[in-house]
């Protein structure tokens, strides 16, 4: 009979978050598949658990996945974990879980910390509907495509970010979502220097330009506000577009591009409405 795979969450910075079930899953496993065995061995040593470790990380997923599945099919039980938090969430595990389903292996989730939910629950942003966006790509084209696809997103958006990329990401947020968009920056969650800042994209940019970012970050960005659609009609936005074009000597198309960024309307929608308004005035 085949064994099973425990998918085990581990603390994201505070060993106090290690639950009895997490500990028991490690104790029951015949072997542990860990993202970085040097990191996981420290956690296991802390609790006096000694188990054979298999490294399972980004660059050996296929080969090690097959190996893990074959051992489990032969009757062993595996606990899979990442360096911190929940496996499969911007961490290895997803492919192994899919392989296990295909092989008919029982999967047992052992829930615990994940930075995405830990940040969201204290963010002060809407929590009813949200989407997890993980890390933005370091490849500019992919990053900009990703953000462009989120311009209309109304749900709260959650991103992971490394400190050295934070400023760049905030600049991209400014371009795609505007300076006034509310956001929460959650830093070093569950650790000694935990910080939860309810702010805006513009204020965060100013703050971190003056204070170089350090530690681990989760960015919780408010979705596109509904309220603007109610407070500003398309006709009013079209009028602002005409005013801006006249004042700054811009083409209507360029003015529409600038004006629409702060509204719920798209560029071509604003452009067409402004053209219509202009025509009506001529008649
Ligand atoms: N699987 C993990 C989880 O469930 O949260 C995430 C792993 S991902 C490789 C690491 C990223 O998660 C970090 O770069 C950071 O964005 C976020 N993160 C992890 N721990 C954190 C913490 N204590 N405080 C803030 N962000 C954290």
Residue 174 C-alpha to ligand 1 middle, in angstroms? Answer: 23
> Mean pLDDT across the stretch 67-86?
98
* pLDDT tens track for 236-250: 899 988 988 888 888
Tokens of 101: 């389903």
Closest ligand 1 atom to the C-alpha of 89?
1
Q: Bigger pLDDT: 183 or 280?
A: 183
Query: What angle do helix axes 201-210 and 166-177 make, rounded to 10 degrees?
Result: 150
191: helix, coil or strand?
Answer: coil
Asked whether residue 126 falls in the same domain as residue 165, the answer is yes
Q: Would you say 241 and 271 are in contact if contact means Cβ atoms under 8 Å apart?
A: yes
Q: pLDDT class for 34, splitting at 50, 70, 90?
A: very high
* pLDDT tens track for 167-211: 999 999 999 999 999 999 999 999 999 999 999 999 999 999 999
Among residues of the chain, what percentage have pLDDT more than 70?
98
Pocket test for ligand 1, best of 10, 11, 12, 82 (most atoms within 8 A of CB): 12
Count other C-beta atoms under 10 Å from residue 39's C-beta. 14
Residue 24 C-alpha to ligand 1 middle, in angstroms? Answer: 24
Backbone angles phi, psi at 109, to 5 degrees: -80, 135
Residue 158 C-alpha to ligand 1 middle, in angstroms? Answer: 11
Instruction: Specify if 75 maps to a domain.
Output: yes
Instruction: Specify if 73 maps to a domain.
Output: yes
Asked whether residue 105 falls in the same domain as residue 122, the answer is no
The range of the structural domain enclosing residue 17 comes to: 4-113
The Cα 114–Cα 81 span in angstroms is 12
* pLDDT tens track for 135-166: 999 999 999 999 999 999 999 999 999 999 99
Instruction: Specify if 9 maps to a domain.
Output: yes
Residue 230 has pLDDT above 60, yes or no: no
Instruction: Identify the residue whose C-alpha is closest to ligand 1 atom 20.
Output: 12
Please tell me the predicted confidence (pLDDT) of residue 248.
Answer: 80
**CATH classification at residue 59:** 3.40.1010.10
Residue 199 C-alpha to ligand 1 middle, in angstroms? Answer: 20
Instruction: Identify the residue whose C-alpha is closest to ligand 1 atom 2.
Output: 85
Sequence-ordered alpha helix ranges (H) in the chain: 20-28, 37-46, 61-73, 94-102, 115-121, 140-148, 166-177, 201-210, 227-231, 234-248, 252-260, 267-282
Q: Pick from 113, 135, 152: which residue ends a domain? A: 113
**CATH classification at residue 192:** 3.30.950.10
Asked whether residue 144 falls in the same domain as residue 173, the answer is yes
Query: What residues flank ligand 1, with Cβ below 6 Å?
Result: 12-13, 82, 84-86, 89-91, 114-116, 160-162, 186-191, 216-218
Q: Read out DSSP for 139-185?
A: SHHHHHHHHHTTTT--SEEEEEE-GGGHHHHHHHHHHHH-TT-EEEE
Asked whether residue 94 falls in the same domain as residue 52, the answer is yes
Closest ligand 1 atom to the C-alpha of 160?
16
Instruction: Specify if 228 maps to a domain.
Output: no
Instruction: Specify if 136 maps to a domain.
Output: yes
Asked whether residue 194 falls in the same domain as residue 107, the answer is no
Residue 214 C-alpha to ligand 1 middle, in angstroms? Answer: 13
Closest ligand 1 atom to the C-alpha of 86?
4
The residue among 84, 118, 134, 87 whose CA lies nearest residue 194 is: 118
> Mean pLDDT across the stretch 57-84?
95
Please tell me the predicted confidence (pLDDT) of residue 35.
Answer: 95
Residue 221 C-alpha to ligand 1 middle, in angstroms? Answer: 16
The residue among 138, 123, 102 whose CA lies nearest residue 5 is: 102
Instruction: Specify if 227 maps to a domain.
Output: no
Please tell me the predicted confidence (pLDDT) of residue 168.
Answer: 96
Asked whether residue 100 falls in the same domain as residue 193, the answer is no
62: helix, coil or strand?
Answer: helix
Q: Pick from 191, 221, 251: which residue ends a domain? A: 221
Q: Pick from 113, 143, 159: which residue ends a domain? A: 113
Pocket test for ligand 1, best of 115, 159, 221 (most atoms within 8 A of CB): 115
The Cα 245–Cα 232 span in angstroms is 19
Asked whether residue 78 falls in the same domain as residue 64, the answer is yes
Asked whether residue 27 falls in the same domain as residue 90, the answer is yes
Residue 52 C-alpha to ligand 1 middle, in angstroms? Answer: 26
Among residues of the chain, what percentage have pLDDT more than 90?
82
Question: Could you give the number of structural domains in the chain?
Answer: 3
Asked whether residue 175 falls in the same domain as residue 194, the answer is yes
Q: pLDDT class for 231, splitting at 50, 70, 90?
A: low
Pocket test for ligand 1, best of 16, 81, 84, 158 (most atoms within 8 A of CB): 84
DSSP collapsed to 3 states, 211-237 = CCCCCCEEEEECCCCCHHHHHCCHHHH
Count other C-beta atoms under 10 Å from residue 65's C-beta. 20
Tell me how long the chain is: 283
């Amino acid at each position: 009979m085949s064994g099973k795979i425990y998918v085990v969450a581990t603390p994201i910075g505070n060993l106090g978050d290690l639950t009895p079930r997490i500990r028991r899953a490690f104790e029951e496993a015949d072997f542990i598949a860990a993202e970085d065995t040097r990191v996981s061995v420290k956690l296991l040593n802390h609790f006096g658990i000694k188990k054979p470790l298999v490294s399972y990380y980004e660059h050996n997923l296929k080969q090690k996945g097959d190996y893990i599945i074959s051992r489990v099919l032969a009757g062993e039980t595996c606990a899979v974990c990442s360096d911190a938090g929940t496996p499969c969430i911007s961490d290895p595990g997803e492919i192994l879980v899919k392989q296990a389903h295909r092989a008919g292996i029982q999967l047992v989730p052992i829930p615990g910390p994940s930075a995405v939910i830990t940040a969201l629950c204290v963010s002060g942003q809407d929590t009813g509907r949200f989407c997890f966006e993980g890390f933005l790509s370091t490849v500019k084209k992919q990053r900009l495509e990703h953000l462009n696809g989120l311009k209309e997103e109304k749900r709260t958006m959650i991103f992971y970010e490394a400190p050295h990329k934070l400023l760049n990401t905030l600049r991209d947020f400014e371009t795609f979502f505007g300076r006034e968009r509310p956001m929460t920056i959650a830093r070093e969650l569950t650790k000694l220097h935990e910080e939860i800042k309810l702010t805006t994209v513009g204020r965060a940019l100013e703050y971190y330009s003056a204070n170089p970012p350090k530690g681990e970050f989760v960015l919780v960005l408010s979705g596109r506000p509904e309220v603007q659609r109610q407070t500003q009609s398309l006709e009013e936005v079209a009028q602002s577009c005409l005013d801006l074009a006249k004042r700054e000597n811009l083409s209507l198309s360029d003015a529409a591009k600038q004006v629409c960024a702060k509204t719920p309307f798209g560029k071509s929608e604003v452009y067409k409405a402004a053209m219509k308004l202009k025509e009506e005035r001529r008649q």
